[in-house]
Every structure is written in structure tokens, then in C-alpha cells.
Amino acid sequence: MPHSALAYIAGAYEHPLRNAPDTSVAQLHAEVAFGALADAGLSKDDVDGFFCGPDAPGTGPLSLADYMNLKLRHVDTTNTSGSSYLIHVAHAAQAIAAGKCNVALITLAGRPRQQGKSKGALKRADDPNQPDFQWESPFGIQILGVYGMVAQRHRNLYGTTAEQMAWVKVAASHHAQHNPHAMLRDVVTVEDVVNSPLVADPLHRLDCCVVTDGGGALIVTRPEIAKSLKRPLVKVIGCGEAPVGQNGGYMEITDTGAQRSGATAFAQAGVKPADIGYVSLYDSFTITAMLQIEDLGFCPKGEVGRFVMDGNLISGVGRLPFNTDGGGLCNNHPVNRGGMTKAIEAVRQIRGEAHPAVQVPDCRLALANAIGGQLGVRHASSTIILERE
């Protein structure tokens, strides 16, 4: 049964570079923007809304709008780290419904490899006015350590094993082998993952995402504009967002905001987890994807270890195909902000444009979820549900 559309994603583009020593951040933003516009069959003169995060250089949307010579009547610089770009899809749909813009451009781009930024790098409180990290950085908080703590907590509560976590990486690698742009294309085994160096018990090196340059862009439009273009129609039918704080220390670190953002998106879309044919999940670490699977309702809490085993996330093998581009674990994690690529691969699946080896047959409903910030401390979850028309 068709569902009403909030808006349509008319264009999507992922930059092919994973290492960009000779391309500026502004140029990367422009290249992904024009790639998404070309994909949609639109021009920059059609764009009247621009959405970006703090990865935008200079004065953010002002600098990039000037650089790309955009004539805008609406801008949005929402920043919830890696989940920003799915929230941008929701905010673009809301702005379109409110008559603020007709064609919204969303971009992400950066060069963390060139800047030597690692996913496990120390968070620094250089600004004494920050309300959070000044209390954490003196004790050496690291992203790796926090996610290792979350994984350890899940293991202690539910008996989740390193071998079960490894299956998430195995599935991602099976998909990445078919992606010519993926940073890591070698298929790995459970043994490969658990025998890789331990970096934050129980996480091993292969439980961790890649760090890449590059970026991506999306075009969100009014329904009538999308229907005038010669592209498959991808409807945005449900959106949810949920920031999560520490509640003064009274928090369960294995719970994510996906519990609330997912529930909101499912209710708005009028569908349930069993209806979803494909999922894009933020996979900064294997445990990150696993917690989203539980909290979005694809399996009961505590049972995700058994759920992901034996290839259950591999397209054509299991019942919940995920991250068929290879995800952040193998393909691309531009600017250490993976929400954009999650939306792009979900669009490919809905259009039937994923690689034939991983394309989900007759994929009518897809879900993308992203986590921004840090699990175990403070984060935000954003969820979008897409439908083929």
C-alpha cells in the first residue's frame, strides 16, 4: 500500500575519492553538489535551499553558496555530527512542506586523511566554555575507549561475543568486494576479525571503520518537481530524530537514540520493521550497527549477537541486508560523519541501482539510520524511511 510522501530524494552522489591530497574541501563540496544535481537532472540555478554541517569550510553555507554561486532563500546548518545529514533530509522535507524552498541541496565533504585525523583520536577541550569535554578530556577519553566500554557492557549484560560482532564486518566485506570505490575490498572471515590486533577490549582493529576523504550530496525536492524528472521516484515517508544526553550519569550505555528516532519514523511512515527490505546503519564500529539493529526493533534487546551470525546481514543470504556498499567498515566514512553515505546507498537500493551482486530484489522500503556524537556519552540518532513509487 503506497504511503504519502513528505518529499522526494531526486538526486544522490557519492564522491569516488577516498584520498584527496590535491582537492580542497570547498571543491569537494562543489563536486558532490554538481554530481547530485546531474543525477537528478537539475542545475544549480534550481537550488533554493542549502543544508550543511560544520564540515563546510569558512562561514559554512555563506562561503559555499558564494563559492558555488547559489541563489538561496533557505539555509540550515544543523549539527548533530554524523547523524546531521539524515536530519537534514527531514528538515529539508519540512522546509519544502512549509514553502521555504523547492529544491534542497545537502552536502558533506572533507579531508580527514590529509589532516591526520583518526576515528579513535583523543577528544580535546581546547575551548574552556565547552560544557562536556572539559570534564572528560583530562581523564583521556577516547572514542575507541568509549565504544569498547559500550561493547564490553553489552557482552556482560547479554553474553555477546567477539565472534558475533565480527559477523558485521564479514557482511560489510562481502558487499565491499563489489564496490570499485571501496577503500577495503578484501573479503574477511570471523577469524580474520578476532585475530586482528585488539584496540579496545573487546573491539579489534577490523571492528573499526575506515577514515576517508571525499563526501556526498543529496537533492530533496517537492513531489511535483521529482515527478517531472526522468529518475526513479524515491519518497521520504518517515523521519525521526533523537538527541541523547547522560542524564547526570543515570543512563544505560547500550541504549541508543534509535529507540526514539526509529519509533517516530515508523509511526510517521505507517510501516513496521518487518516491512523493511534493506537497512543502511551507521557502522563506526561493529557494535554501533548491532545496537541500532536492536533499538530499531529488528530483533529483541540482547539478541543481536545471534541475529547477525551466519551471514544474516549479507544481501542474498540473510534476512536483513545491510550496508550493501560496504559501509563505514569497508567502503567510505567521509569526514568521520557517515550519515550521508547511508542515505545514498538506501537511495540506490530503492532505485534498483545498487551493484547487481548486492541489489535487494524488488526493494520497495529502505531505512537509513545514523548515530552522531559518541555512544556511551552523548549522541543523536536520525532515521529516515524511503519508499519506491
- Per-residue pLDDT of 287-311, as tens digits, reads 999 999 999 999 999 999 999 999 9
pLDDT at 122: 46
Per the prediction, the chain carries an average pLDDT of 94
Helices (H) and strands (E) in the chain, counts: 13, 11
- Per-residue pLDDT of 89-123, as tens digits, reads 999 999 999 999 999 999 999 998 877 655 544 44
Superfamily of segment(s) 7-115+213-232: Thiolase/Chalcone synthase (3.40.47.10)
The grid coordinates listed for 126 are: 581546547
Eight-state DSSP code of residue 309: G
d(CA 291, CA 273): 15
Torsions phi, psi for 319 (to 5 deg):
-95, -5
pLDDT at 5: 83
Neighbour-count burial of 82, counting CB atoms closer than 10 A to its CB (0-12 exposed, 13-18 middle, 19+ buried): buried
Q: Do residues 366 and 349 lie in contact, with contact meaning Cβ atoms separated by under 8 Å?
A: yes
- pLDDT of 1 strictly over 50: yes
Average pLDDT over residues 78-94: 96
- Per-residue pLDDT of 177-191, as tens digits, reads 999 999 999 999 999
Q: Residue 249 in 3-state DSSP?
A: helix
- Per-residue pLDDT of 349-359, as tens digits, reads 999 999 999 99
Provide the whole-model pTM.
0.95
pLDDT at 90: 97
- pLDDT of 239 strictly over 70: yes
**Positive or negative: CA dihedral 207, 85, 68, 14:** positive
- pLDDT of 133 strictly over 80: no
Block residue for cell numbers 570534564: 135
Residue predicted with more confidence, 1 or 99:
99
Distance of CA 64 to the CA centre of its chain: 22
- pLDDT of 167 strictly over 80: yes
Neighbouring C-beta atoms of residue 122, cutoff 10 Å: 13
- Per-residue pLDDT of 33-74, as tens digits, reads 999 999 999 999 999 999 999 999 999 899 999 999 999 999
- pLDDT of 125 strictly over 80: no
Neighbour-count burial of 43, counting CB atoms closer than 10 A to its CB (0-12 exposed, 13-18 middle, 19+ buried): exposed
Q: What confidence tier does 360 reach under pLDDT thresholds 50, 70, 90? A: very high
Eight-state DSSP code of residue 239: E
Q: Do residues 363 and 385 lie in contact, with contact meaning Cβ atoms separated by under 8 Å?
A: no
Which of the residue ranges 9-13, 29-33, 135-139 would you say has the lowest mean pLDDT? 135-139
Eight-state DSSP code of residue 183: S
Q: Do residues 147 and 203 lie in contact, with contact meaning Cβ atoms separated by under 8 Å?
A: yes
pLDDT at 4: 76
Q: How many CA atoms, within 13 angstroms, populate the side-chain half-sphere of residue 287?
A: 30
Region of 44 (left: φ > 0; alpha: ψ -120 to 50; beta: rest) is alpha
d(CA 106, CA 16): 17
Average pLDDT over residues 3-13: 91
Q: What residues does each domain of the chain span?
A: 7-115+213-232, 141-209+236-388
pLDDT at 29: 97
pLDDT at 128: 66
Block residue for cell numbers 558564494: 66
Q: What confidence tier does 210 reach under pLDDT thresholds 50, 70, 90? A: very high
Neighbour-count burial of 67, counting CB atoms closer than 10 A to its CB (0-12 exposed, 13-18 middle, 19+ buried): middle
- Per-residue pLDDT of 218-232, as tens digits, reads 999 999 999 999 999
Task: Using alpha carbons, list the distances in angstroms from residue 259 to 17, 164, 168, 204, 339.
Answer: 34, 22, 20, 27, 17
pLDDT at 143: 87
Angle CA 235–240–245, to nearest 5:
155
Instruction: Tell how strand 214-221 and strand 7-14 pair up.
Output: antiparallel
pLDDT at 120: 47
- pLDDT of 236 strictly over 60: yes
Neighbour-count burial of 113, counting CB atoms closer than 10 A to its CB (0-12 exposed, 13-18 middle, 19+ buried): buried
Neighbouring C-beta atoms of residue 338, cutoff 10 Å: 33
Start-to-end CA span in the chain (Å): 10
Among 3.40.47.10, 3.30.9.10, 3.40.605.10, 3.30.870.10, name the CATH number for the domain at 141-209+236-388.
Answer: 3.40.47.10
